Structure 1
Amino acid sequence: MAGAPTLVFSVRRRERQLVAPARPTPYEFKMLSDIDDQDILRFNRSGILFYRHNPSMDGRDPVKVIKAAVSETLVHFYPLAGRFRELRPTRKLVVECTGEGVVFVEADANFRMDDLGTSLAPPVPCYDMLLCEPESPTADVVDRPLLFVQVTRLACGGFVFGMQICHCMADGSGIMQFMTALTEFARGVTGAPTVQPVWERELLTARWPPAITRDHLEYAPLPDPGKDVLSPTDAYAHHAFFFGASEIAALRLQAPADLRAASSRFDLVSAFMWRCRTAALRYDPGDVVRLHMFVNARVRNRSKQPVPRGYYGNAIVFAVASASAGELCRRPFGHALRLLVEAKARASEEGYVQSMANFNAAHRRPPFPKARTYLVSDMTQAGLMAIDFGWGKPVYGGPATTMLATFHLEGRNEAGEAGIMVPIRLPNPVIHRLIQEVKMGLTAGAALHNAEASVGADDFVLAKL
């Protein structure tokens, strides 16, 4: 009996359009901060959201609704409708607020939501057809649009919203602020967005002469940077690891007593995956490996001048933990966790944000070391799974690919349990070894859990006696 024909995904895109602000906006030049203006942020960060058909919205076209909402939102976020200019000789970026607009693409797909499978994770299926621009960790951002949007209707009546925004303009929190305003206008809100955008990039701009008050190991070159086991020519594979309640409990039991209760799920999973990934990559014992994490300056007052509500620029710094591969893998999981916690504490000290801005200005946007570095970003609290254009919450909301960082995402396993999804991209043999390392590490934690439960039960019996 012949098998069923395989569906070949295709997307028909209309011509690109420029969507300008719905009303005239100021013409002016706006300087970026010295946190925004880093070479490592000169790329277009992607976000993609998948929505099912909603019968209550029949008769409303998501393309037209979202296109009109983009135009209205740009009235308030008008720098996004401008273009970057580069000042010479410093290469400092400045936004010329021209009001030219952002790229908008209308598209139609031949597939249905159900054709994409039951669990979406980066890289999402046919992402290259659902985004305007090719995915890349670098991009030429000067004299080009700063925002690209594609809305793709699905054959089932659902749709996909794909967005790429220059990271120099906004961090994750800033992108969410823009997206929230966009959905408010899509749902019919009039006037101003609930949280009005604030520029004020001078708050995170270096003072002269720049006072560097902290050690910024995140930019320090690694010994032998050319010595790495990863190469762009490798054949890469993907695997999404799931951490639910039992997995988190297994890791927490392996944590030192003083860190057990205080460590977040992000702390536990990041330290664990850093250690497992290092073992799977089989670095030489003396090779220095690093863990880099984003720390949001909005979370606590990490600045003498607090970032105001509505600030949508980059207010992130990097926390870095470092160890030799041999030490990290030889010592227990608790050692990796302690290194992570100490790194976050250093990056959370008051004055660290200003010091980083001064460091970037003084060193003219220093390069960011990538060799033997595990870069992690927590998106479980971002709120993307609550983004509602009027059609309800998305089936998936998050990055389209895992080009640069490893993301912690909201996710569910096959049984429907909620937890943390960690999609990893590594060469195929390394992925297989990583799966085994993760399994062994969690099994050790589960054994501790069972032993502790057994001791608890014995204590209960003795107490009854």
Structure 2
Amino acid sequence: MGSLDQTPPSLLQDLKVTTLRSTAISPKEKKERRWVFLSNIDKVLNFDVETITFFRNIAGLSREAVVEKLSSGIESVLGLYDSQAGRLGVNPADGRLAIDCTAAGVVLCVAESELKLEELGDLEYPNPSFRQLVAEKKGNVVAELGETPLTTFQVTWFKCGGFALGIRNNHITFDGLSFRTFLSNIAAMAADRPLTSLPCHDRHLLAARSPPQVTFEHPELRSLPPDSTSTSLFSMLTPRLRYYLFHLAADTISDLKNKCQQETKKHNPTGFNCVTAHLWRCKVLSSDSSPEPGKDRIYTVAFAMDIRRRLNPPLPNEYAGNAVLSAYASASLFELEMAPLGLLVDRVHEGAERITDAYIRSTVDWGETNIGVPHGDVLISSWWRLGLDDIEYPWGRPIYSCPVADPERDIVLLLPSIESDKGVNCLVPLKDDCVEKFKHLFYTYLEK
């Protein structure tokens, strides 16, 4: 029921990448300089996300043609996303962190590897060396641009003719859904097709109320000291971890859903809720190192949720900002160890149902009067059904698209499988002394 891929003995450490050239790309159509308001949700997500997308050899399309089409697509789309070509700064009008739409642009690097794409091994495996396929936000081009760009692109060619598109993007600009729309629009422009959709840039739709009205307790948020210099989710470093890949096939997930359906009559369990509950249990039980942990000790799982449809009125689907919050569920150590999975799935379901319009407004207002970050004993982020692999570029759809696993971020990632079996790859960060216990729990609870 599911399988674990051990660390491949041939996992490459050096992808032998050489940068050939770097250029700055500014919007094709310039707009009047302005400041873009950032919501309290945006401000918490002030950190970079690195994404790698792999493509096969393109018959009849030269390297130069691919780079030219990509450059043209980026240049055209930046006219619609002028904030993406801007820089972070403090708006002098209100003293808030904001984006200064300077039209300074983004960076596009072209590189090549001495390897063939197939020599990279299993693309699904969380290989930290994939970071070599992403351009750094430093160097001569960045120096010429001035302040650090919000986004960099890197095309890396392999000896076989395949290539990787690496993107480093500040999460403060996009959530997963709006990032996908951004890439879809670049792909459309590069292929001379109509835009996928027009972005909605009105981030005041998620502004705090005046005065703020915090009407709920928010245990999923951790307050930082008033003099804290960073409000990023990952501003506090965690012990260095290693990511391991666990695959749950579609039939395994179906079995979990059927089992939970028999254990709860409250709702129809979803695949996401079942997988989240299973991982929450295994992560806590494998990580708790207390000599005699109290059975009544409470552990939480926090998971990112799209809030567009949960607001009244709803946010536009095209909202080009961060419309995600951390839902949470709690259970005692005893429940995580002994309770049927259905009970934990109920808790996850209740955590999602808690995210109402009133709760969202209270969370946003909490961020107006507090400096803080989302908090949970287990953090889960799902790219499972984001659909980055489905984007149609002029050179075809990707083989695979994935984030670069960061060993300093203790967050479980859910990703689709290359095999398209509708299963899920679970990338789980673990300390070395927790791996065998997690592996044992992962299988034992699947069989119960």
- TM range, smaller chain: 0.7 to 0.9
Aligned to 2:4: none
Comparing 173-182 with 285-294, greater Cα deviation is found at 285-294
Aligned to 1:341: 349
Q: What does residue range 186-265 of structure 1 map to in structure 2 within 5 Å?
A: 186-189=190-193, 193-220=195-222, 232-234=238-240, 236-255=241-260, 257=262, 258=264, 262-265=268-271
Tell me, in whole angstroms, the C-alpha distance in 2 between the residues paired with 1:50 and 1:281.
Answer: 34
Size of the alignment, in residue pairs? 413
Please tell me whether the aligned partners of residues 85 and 94 of structure 1 are also in contact (alpha carbons under 8 angstroms).
yes
Tell me, in whole angstroms, the C-alpha distance in 1 between the residues paired with 2:93 and 2:341.
Answer: 47
Matched letter for residue 364 of structure 2: A
Aligned to 2:233: none
SS of residue in 2 equivalent to 1:35: helix
Q: Kindly provide the CA deviation profile for residues 342-398 of structure 1, in whole angstroms up to 9, marking residues without a partner as x.
A: 111101x232222211111121x323336xx21112212211111232222211112
Please tell me whether the aligned partners of residues 88 and 98 of structure 2 are also in contact (alpha carbons under 8 angstroms).
yes
Q: Which runs of 4+ in 1 moved over 4 A?
A: 87-91, 230-234
Tell me, in whole angstroms, the C-alpha distance in 2 between the residues paired with 1:51 and 1:321.
Answer: 38
Aligned to 1:290: 300
**Root mean square deviation, CA, Å:** 2.8
Using the size of structure 1 for normalisation, the TM-score is 0.82
Please tell me whether the aligned partners of residues 20 and 74 of structure 1 are also in contact (alpha carbons under 8 angstroms).
yes
Note closer, same or farther for the CA distance 1:199–1:404 as it changes in structure 2 (3 Å cut).
Answer: farther
Aligned to 2:30: 24
Instruction: Return the offset for 1:237.
Output: 3.1
Please tell me whether the aligned partners of residues 85 and 106 of structure 2 are also in contact (alpha carbons under 8 angstroms).
yes
Structure 2: state its 5+ residue gaps. 1-9, 138-145, 225-235
Aligned to 1:149: 153
Aligned to 2:312: 304
Tell me, in whole angstroms, the C-alpha distance in 2 between the residues paired with 1:30 and 1:436.
Answer: 49
Comparing 404-413 with 382-391, greater Cα deviation is found at 404-413
SS of residue in 2 equivalent to 1:290: strand
SS of residue in 1 equivalent to 2:401: strand
Q: Kindly provide the CA deviation profile for residues 256-308 of structure 1, in whole angstroms up to 9, marking residues without a partner as x.
A: 5335871111100010011011111134433432100111012x2x2123212
SS of residue in 1 equivalent to 2:327: strand
Instruction: Return the offset for 1:405.
Output: 2.5
Please tell me whether the aligned partners of residues 53 and 391 of structure 1 are also in contact (alpha carbons under 8 angstroms).
no
Structure 1: state its 5+ residue gaps. 135-141, 223-229, 445-465
Q: Kindly provide the CA deviation profile for residues 88-110 of structure 1, in whole angstroms up to 9, marking residues without a partner as x.
A: 89862111111000122111111
Instruction: Return the offset for 1:82.
Output: 0.7
Tell me, in whole angstroms, the C-alpha distance in 1 between the residues paired with 2:413 and 2:153.
Answer: 22
SS of residue in 2 equivalent to 1:313: coil
Please tell me whether the aligned partners of residues 69 and 190 of structure 2 are also in contact (alpha carbons under 8 angstroms).
yes
Tell whether 2:367 aligns with 1:387: no
Tell me, in whole angstroms, the C-alpha distance in 2 between the residues paired with 1:125 and 1:112.
Answer: 18
Matched letter for residue 25 of structure 1: K
Instruction: Return the offset for 1:188.
Output: 1.9
Matched letter for residue 337 of structure 2: C
Matched letter for residue 425 of structure 1: P
Tell me, in whole angstroms, the C-alpha distance in 2 between the residues paired with 1:297 and 1:152.
Answer: 35
Aligned to 1:123: 126
2:69 alignment partner, one of 36, 61, 65:
65
Note closer, same or farther for the CA distance 1:313–1:59 as it changes in structure 2 (3 Å cut).
Answer: closer
Q: What does residue range 411-426 of structure 1 map to in structure 2 within 5 Å?
A: 411-412=417-418, 417-426=421-430
Tell whether 2:370 aligns with 1:355: no
1:435 alignment partner, one of 422, 428, 439:
439
Tell me, in whole angstroms, the C-alpha distance in 2 between the residues paired with 1:97 and 1:24.
Answer: 10
Q: Kindly provide the CA deviation profile for residues 167-210 of structure 1, in whole angstroms up to 9, marking residues without a partner as x.
A: 111111110110000100111236xx230111111110011101
Tell whether 2:78 aligns with 1:74: yes
Please tell me whether the aligned partners of residues 54 and 164 of structure 2 are also in contact (alpha carbons under 8 angstroms).
yes
- Identical pairs, percent: 26
Instruction: Return the offset for 1:87.
Output: 4.7
Tell me, in whole angstroms, the C-alpha distance in 1 between the residues paired with 2:135 and 2:298.
Answer: 38
Using the size of structure 2 for normalisation, the TM-score is 0.85
Aligned to 2:324: 316
Instruction: Return the offset for 1:58.
Output: 4.4
Please tell me whether the aligned partners of residues 86 and 100 of structure 2 are also in contact (alpha carbons under 8 angstroms).
yes
Matched letter for residue 357 of structure 1: V
Tell me, in whole angstroms, the C-alpha distance in 1 between the residues paired with 2:299 and 2:203.
Answer: 33
Please tell me whether the aligned partners of residues 384 and 414 of structure 2 are also in contact (alpha carbons under 8 angstroms).
yes
Instruction: Return the offset for 1:214.
Output: 2.5
Aligned to 1:271: 277
Matched letter for residue 205 of structure 2: L
Instruction: Return the offset for 1:60.
Output: 5.2
Aligned to 1:454: none
Please tell me whether the aligned partners of residues 80 and 199 of structure 2 are also in contact (alpha carbons under 8 angstroms).
yes
Comparing 206-215 with 320-329, greater Cα deviation is found at 320-329
Please tell me whether the aligned partners of residues 406 and 423 of structure 1 are also in contact (alpha carbons under 8 angstroms).
yes
Instruction: Return the offset for 1:218.
Output: 0.8
Matched letter for residue 411 of structure 1: S
Tell me, in whole angstroms, the C-alpha distance in 1 between the residues paired with 2:124 and 2:46.
Answer: 24
Aligned to 1:451: none
Instruction: Return the offset for 1:143.
Output: 4.3
Tell me, in whole angstroms, the C-alpha distance in 2 between the residues paired with 1:366 and 1:91.
Answer: 18
Tell me, in whole angstroms, the C-alpha distance in 2 between the residues paired with 1:404 and 1:65.
Answer: 37
Instruction: Return the offset for 1:240.
Output: 1.0
Matched letter for residue 282 of structure 2: C
